[in-house]
Structure 1
């Protein structure tokens, strides 16, 4: 039985998380919610509170801001449908956990480390064996549609986030984009270039 990976993207406040939660609730099995956000200030505490209120008690909750690869196997043992909200915060946490960048080599090494962490999670989901199908849904922000940021950190983040999104989307069985509360099926619209 093949486990499923689903990718849900969109802009800020587009409705992507709500779509992903409804999708997860429509699939049978114990629900798991991997929350990657950290409450560093009042605004983030409020944002986390709103997400928690919306979820209520229908989910088994896991607070994992950094190394999901260390927990994903045990979460798969407990849950059939897992929602990761979100790749954007997770990538931010991993990118900034060691402080400021000292060099371009430091930036490159962090990106390699982040992509390796993401790949480990994807591999664990794909290779996990169970009598029931497992589904993992990744929520993320599409941040590459605007202008090139003026500052270095924002450019580095945009580039790393773009590569993380591409990696997860390339391994996904389904991919959706939500814009202004309207969701489209990206895989159904995908164009392949064989030239």
Structure 2
């Protein structure tokens, strides 16, 4: 069983590629772990569109914070798990007023699961460190936490794919069956 991180900038094709990877595995049942919470109408429409894109064969779990626990409790019954996305997960913890130590402990719990996953796991995260230094402390904290989490998750995963303009580049090649697959 392998874990794969699909990472890239906004609108780089991360979620679509992660879904394609997961679908290509042919494993059943398929579990989608959604970290997004609908805060407004635009987000509700976005969530609905993504659910339609995935189709009825996906079981969706809404898990804003307890990702490692969700994998542990559901992993033995799942054929594969797709988690989208880690950056919203970090934001959710920040909004719940978790301090940096707590967030990094949650990240370590997830890393521990990813090192020996109960089924194939595909994770999606945004790369936020390639931009400018944010002007305010909250945004800098978010950027830093996202960078630290991404580093730890990438180290724990067997495969890491960097998305640029819809093109996947395998940057950590210990692959699951479709890690080396080209789009």
* Alignment match of 1:166 (pick from 118, 132, 151): 151
Q: Residue 111 of structure 2 contacts residue 152 of structure 2 at CA under 8 Å; is this kept in 1? A: no
Q: Give runs of aligned pairs for residues 32-181 of structure 1, distance below 5 A.
A: 32-98=31-97, 110-127=99-116, 134-181=119-166
* Structure 2 segments unaligned to the other structure (5+ residues): 174-183
In 1: Cα distance, 2:36 partner to 2:117 partner: 26
In 1: Cα distance, 2:116 partner to 2:168 partner: 29
Q: Residue 115 of structure 2 contacts residue 157 of structure 2 at CA under 8 Å; is this kept in 1? A: no
Instruction: Give the deviation of 1:152 after TM superposition.
Output: 1.0
TM-score, with length taken from structure 1: 0.83
Q: 1:128 to 1:181 in 2, by over 3 A?
A: closer
In 2: Cα distance, 1:64 partner to 1:39 partner: 12
Q: Residue 31 of structure 2 contacts residue 82 of structure 2 at CA under 8 Å; is this kept in 1? A: yes
How many positions carry a matched residue from both structures? Answer: 172
Instruction: Give the deviation of 1:80 after TM superposition.
Output: 2.1
In 2: Cα distance, 1:40 partner to 1:29 partner: 32
Q: Residue by residue, what CA displacement relative to the aligned partner does 1:19-57 show, whole Å, maximum 9, x if unpaired? A: 000000111322110000000012211221121111111
Q: Which has the larger radius of gyration?
A: 1
In 1: Cα distance, 2:124 partner to 2:114 partner: 16
In 1: Cα distance, 2:115 partner to 2:9 partner: 27
TM-score, with length taken from structure 2: 0.88
SS at match of 2:76: helix
Q: 1:152 to 1:167 in 2, by over 3 A?
A: same
